[in-house]
Amino acid sequence: MACSTLKFAASDPACILDLCSTLYDRNAPEIQIKINNYLKKQTGSSTVFLAPLLRGTEEAVVQVIGEKVLQQEMRFPLSESVLNTAVKHRHSVEGVPSELDAELLKNLQATIEPEPRTLLNVPVLHPEEDCAALVVCLVNYDEKGLTEATCTHLVTELFRYCLGTVLNTFAYEEEKQMRLQCQSMLAVAKNIFSHLGDLTDLLREIMVEARKLTNAERCSLFLLDSEHDHLVAKIFDGETSTETLEEMRIAKNQGIAGHVATTGEVLNIRNAYSHPLFYKGIDDITGFKTRNILCFPIRKDKDIIGVAQLCNKKNGLYFDVFDEEVAMAFSIYCGISIMHSLVYREMQEAQARNQLINELMIYHMKVSDEDVALLLACPSSHNISDLSDLTFSPRSLPHEEMACYTLLMFEDLGLHVLFNIKRETLARFILFVKKGYRDTPYHNWRHAFCTVHFAFLLIKNLDLVKHEYITPLECLAFMVSCACHDLDHRGTTNSFQTQSGTVLANLYSSDGSVMERHHFAQAVCMLNTQGCNILDGIPREQYTKCLDLIRDLILATDLATHFTVFKEQQKLLVEFQKHKEDQRRLLLCLFMTACDLSDQTKDWSVARQTANLIYKEFFTQGDMEKTMGSSPSESMDRDRAYIPTLQIQFLDNIVIPLYGLISQLFPEAECLVEACKLNREGWTVADTLFSAQWDRGGYELLSDPKLDEQVMAKMKRHRGMPNYKCQMDCGANNCESPHI
C-alpha cells in the first residue's frame, strides 16, 4: 500500500506513532497495558483487554485486564466464548459481559466500577495467515458516545502498525516460557532420578512434582498390571505411610484412568460430575469434592505402563492446554524413571537372592545318598500306639527319629501311592527340609515336625479326606506346607526384619509377610533341588494348583493377618460347602494356624516348655533391638514382659477362639479346647508364683523345671483333690511352699 493512500477514519496518526515508539518492551503484559490504556483513552471505554488466539488449540488467552496483570493467565475454548462470533465472521460484534467465561467475568468485575454493561469484540486479522490473530475487547465502550464503527476503526488502525510488534513479543514470551519449562523439567528429572532406588519413594516424588508443575490439589498414580489387566494404585496425594499400604485395583477399562490406559489419550475434564466416566462414590466416602481432572498416560516407548490422575486446579477453574503440555512432557520422564527403578529393583533382588543362596550354601550341608539310605532302611518299627491321638505330644520323641516318623506319616496317609512319589525322593525331601531349619530355640526342625504331626492328627481324626472336606491334592499340599512353613527361620519377627533393613526385607517387604514369603521361597527351592521334587509325578495343572495352595497356607501362618482372615473363617459355621474350592482353602488356612500353635493343645508341661523356648527367642530379639537404639515391645523386653499375663492374653485372643471354631465345625476336636483352657488355668496359677518372686526375673522363673510341679500341685488342690502329697520330697501333705 502506498503511503499517499493511507487514510485514518478515526485515529490521530501522531498518537499512534507516539504509542508505537514506546512499544520496545520484551514483556507481553507491559505492551498490553500500554495498548489497553491507549484504546481506553481513545474509545472512552471503562477498560480494555486483549485476547490472543491459539490456533492449534482454538483457545483464547487473557493475561491482562486494563492495567491489571492476572496472577495466572486464563485460557478458555474459543468455541464456548462470546468472542467466537467476531472471529468467525471477522467483524466487530457487540455482546454483553455476562456471556464471557465465568472466571474472566469475575476478574473483570473486580477491576472496574460500576458493573460492566456493554462489550465490543473487535477481531484483528493476521497479516499473513487467513485467520484472526487476536480479539480486542472494549468494556462499556459507549460511555464517550462513540459509535461501534468508530471504535472498530480506532482498533484496526492501531493494529495496522503495532500488530507485528505485539506478535513478536508473544512469540518471544512463548520461547522464554519454553526455555523455563525445559529448565524446570531438567530439575524435575534430576530430582526424580535420584529416587530410583526405592519405587515407592519414586512414585511419591513423581506425584509431588506433578502437583507442583500443574498446581493441582490432589493426585494419584496407577501402574498397569498387564498380567491381570488391572491398574494398581498405592500412591495417593503424593504421600504414603511407612507401613505397607492396602493397594487399590481397578479394571483396565474402568473409569477415567482405565479409559486413558486403554486409549492412550489425555483426558482434561473441566466438570468431573458431568462426565460419564467419573465415579462420585469415592467423593461421597472421603468428603472430597472433585471439580476437574487431568488424566494422562505414562509410557515406555509406545507401551502404556501407568496413568497419573490430577484433581482440582488451584487458582483456576480447570486445567488448561499448557497443563496438558507440561503433563505430557513430564510423563516421558516418569516412564523412563519408573522402568529404570523396576530394573534396578530386579537387580537388587537378584543380588539379594545370590547373597542369600551363598549364605544358605555355607550354612547348610548337602544331603548325602548315605543319609537317604539310612532313613529308608531304618530298623526301628517306630510303633507308638497313641501316635494318632489328638493329645499325643510329638516333643516326647527323640530328635534323631523325627525324620523317620515324618516319612511314616506321609506313607500312612497313602500320599506316596496317590501321587507317584518315590520313597527315595520323599526321604531326600524330608532330610533337605530338616537341614533347612536353623538351630533356633523354637522355630527349628522340632517345631516343624510338631506342626506336621498335628496336620496328620487332623487328617486322621477328623477324616478330612474320607469325608471330602479336603481333596487328596490338598492333603498333600497341607502336609508339605506344615513341613516347610518355617524354613530358614532366623528367630526374629517380620517387623524386626523390616526395621533392620535385612536382605530378606529388601526382597519381600513390599508384599508383606517377609518371613513367610521367604519360607515359601525356600520350599520351592527344596522342591527344585535335584532328587527332591515330590510333586514331579503330578500333572502340570495340579502342580501349579498345589504350589499356589502351599504358598497360601504358609502365608496363613503370619499371625498379623490372622484376625482379618478369621472373620471369614467364622462364616464357615453357617455356609461351608465342600464342593467350593475357596471355602476348602479357608478351612485349610484355619487348620494351618492350628497346626502352627498346636503346642498349646498339649499338657501344661509342654505348654510351659514351649513358652520358655519362644520367650528365649523373643528376648534375644529384644536385646538386639536395644543395641540398635530401638525400644522393643513388651513381649520382647525381658525387663518388662510379665509372661503369665501375656500368655493368658494370647490364649484368650487367639488360641481358644481358634480351636473353639474347629470344635464347632468338628465336635471330635472338643478335647483341644479343653486342653487350652486347662493351660490357661495353669498360667493363672503361675501368675501367683511369678508375682511372689518377680525379683528373680520372669524368664528365670519360666525356665525353672520346678515350676511345672508347683503349678500342677496348685491346680489339683484347686480342683478339690485332698491330701495331695508334695512332689518335692518335703514330706508334707497339701504343701503350699513354692519350692522355687
> Would you state the cell numbers that stand for residue 1, as one nine-digit string?
500500500
What's the pLDDT score for residue 114? 72
Looking at residue 705, the DSSP 8-state letter turns out to be T
Work out the average pLDDT over 548-554.
97
Tens digits of residue pLDDT in 250-285: 888 888 989 999 999 999 998 899 999 888 877 777
Tens digits of residue pLDDT in 440-490: 999 999 999 999 999 999 999 999 999 999 999 999 999 999 999 999 999
CA of residue 583 relative to chain centroid, distance: 27
Q: Between vectors from CA 565 to CA 562 and to CA 566, what angle results, nearest 5°? A: 75
Work out the average pLDDT over 356-370.
69
Decide if pLDDT at 733 tops 70: no
Residue list for the binding site: 443-447, 485-486, 596, 647
- How far apart are alpha carbons 541 and 420 in whole angstroms? 16
- How far apart are alpha carbons 446 and 434 in whole angstroms? 9
> Would you state the cell numbers that stand for residue 568, as one nine-digit string?
471369614
Decide if pLDDT at 722 tops 70: no
How do strand 59-65 and strand 216-225 relate by DSSP bridges? unpaired
Contact 228, 314 (CB under 8 A): no
Edge to edge, the sheet with strand 93-95 lists 68-77, 59-65, 47-54, 132-139, 119-125, 93-95
pLDDT band at 243 (very low <50, low <70, confident <90, very high): very low
Q: Please check whether the two domains, 3-178 and 196-344, share a CATH topology.
A: yes
Each residue of 383-408: b (16+ CB within 10 Å) or e?
A: eeeebeebebbbbebeeeebbbbbbb
* Range with the poorest average pLDDT among 5-19, 549-563, 574-588: 5-19
pLDDT band at 546 (very low <50, low <70, confident <90, very high): very high
- How far apart are alpha carbons 536 and 479 in whole angstroms? 16
Active site residue: 443, 489, 518, 562, which one?
443
Decide if pLDDT at 642 tops 80: yes
CA of residue 269 relative to chain centroid, distance: 27
Distance in Å from the first CA to the final CA of the chain: 119
- How far apart are alpha carbons 77 and 321 in whole angstroms? 10
Decide if pLDDT at 3 tops 90: no
Q: Give the contacts of 533 (CB within 8 A, at least 6 positions apart).
A: 425, 429, 527
Decide if pLDDT at 622 tops 80: yes
Decide if pLDDT at 727 tops 50: no
| Proportion of the chain above pLDDT 70, given as a percent | 91
Q: Which of 26-35, 105-114, 235-244 has the highest mean pLDDT?
A: 26-35
What's the pLDDT score for residue 529? 83
Decide if pLDDT at 583 tops 80: yes
pLDDT band at 25 (very low <50, low <70, confident <90, very high): confident
Tracing cell 464342593 back to the chain, one arrives at 579
Is the full-model pTM beyond 0.95?
Answer: no
Residue list for the binding site for Zn(2+): 447, 485-486, 596
Out of 1.20.120.350, 3.30.450.40, 3.40.50.300, 1.10.3720.10, the CATH code matching 3-178 is: 3.30.450.40
pLDDT band at 562 (very low <50, low <70, confident <90, very high): very high
Decide if pLDDT at 657 tops 50: yes
- The question of whether 467 is a catalytic residue gets the answer no
What's the pLDDT score for residue 368? 87
Contact 121, 92 (CB under 8 A): yes
Decide if pLDDT at 244 tops 60: no
Decide if pLDDT at 246 tops 70: no
Residue list for the binding site for AMP: 443-447, 486, 596, 647
What's the pLDDT score for residue 189? 79
Decide if pLDDT at 358 tops 80: no
Reduced 3-state DSSP string for 194-229: HHCCCHHHHHHHHHHHHHHHHCEEEEEEEEEECCCC
If one counts every other C-beta atom within 10 angstroms of the C-beta of residue 47, the result is: 21
- How far apart are alpha carbons 615 and 622 in whole angstroms? 10
Q: Give the contacts of 317 (CB within 8 A, at least 6 positions apart).
A: 102, 103, 270, 291, 292
Q: Map residue 236 onto helix, strand or coil.
A: strand
Decide if pLDDT at 665 tops 90: yes
Decide if pLDDT at 730 tops 60: no
What's the pLDDT score for residue 1? 44
Could you tell me where the DSSP H helices lie in 264-414?
281-286, 321-363, 369-376, 402-412
- How far apart are alpha carbons 548 and 477 in whole angstroms? 9
Work out the average pLDDT over 601-624.
95
Q: Is the peptide bond before 722 cis (omega within 30 degrees of 0)?
A: no
CATH class of domain segment(s) 196-344: alpha beta
Q: Residue type at 445?
A: W
* Range with the poorest average pLDDT among 56-70, 120-134, 568-582, 706-720: 706-720
More confident residue, 43 or 104: 43
What's the pLDDT score for residue 365? 58
Taking CA atoms, 169 is separated from 7, 133, 137, 176, in Å, by: 27, 13, 20, 10
Work out the average pLDDT over 213-242.
76
Q: Write down the mean pLDDT value for the chain.
A: 86
> Would you state the cell numbers that stand for residue 637, as one nine-digit string?
523386653
What are phi and psi for residue 62, nearest 5 degrees? -125, 125
Tens digits of residue pLDDT in 167-201: 999 989 888 877 877 787 788 778 787 877 777 88
Domain map of the chain by residue range? 3-178, 196-344
* Range with the poorest average pLDDT among 106-115, 442-451, 646-655: 106-115
Taking CA atoms, 117 is separated from 85, 140, 147, 290, in Å, by: 19, 6, 15, 34
More confident residue, 717 or 385: 385
